[in-house]
Amino acid sequence: MSDKFSFSNLDELQRWHQGIKQANRNNIFCHCRTCGYEWIDSTFDVICLKCSSNNVESISSWQFPDD
């Protein structure tokens, strides 16, 4: 085994980890249709933090244009 070979593997592994990190970092903008409460969550499977309604609109922050 050469050092070059293992280094190349590590580089690939780090890129793979970075991709997962970015996916996990996605913020979901949530808006409750029942009480109108708005908050940021990290999952689409949410219930309202205020009224516990599951009638919640969720929008990924990456769908918004960057300012």
The torsion angles phi and psi of 23, rounded to 5 degrees, stand at -65, -40
Sign of the Cα pseudo-torsion (62, 63, 65, 67, in order): negative
Q: Would you say 28 or 32 has its CB closer to Zn ion?
A: 32
Q: Would you say 25 or 50 has its CB closer to Zn ion?
A: 50
Least gap, CB of 24 to Zn ion (angstroms): 25
* Site residues, Zn ion (CB under 5 A): 32, 34-35, 37, 48, 50-51, 53
Q: Give SS3 for 49.
A: coil
Q: Would you say 12 or 57 has its CB closer to Zn ion?
A: 57
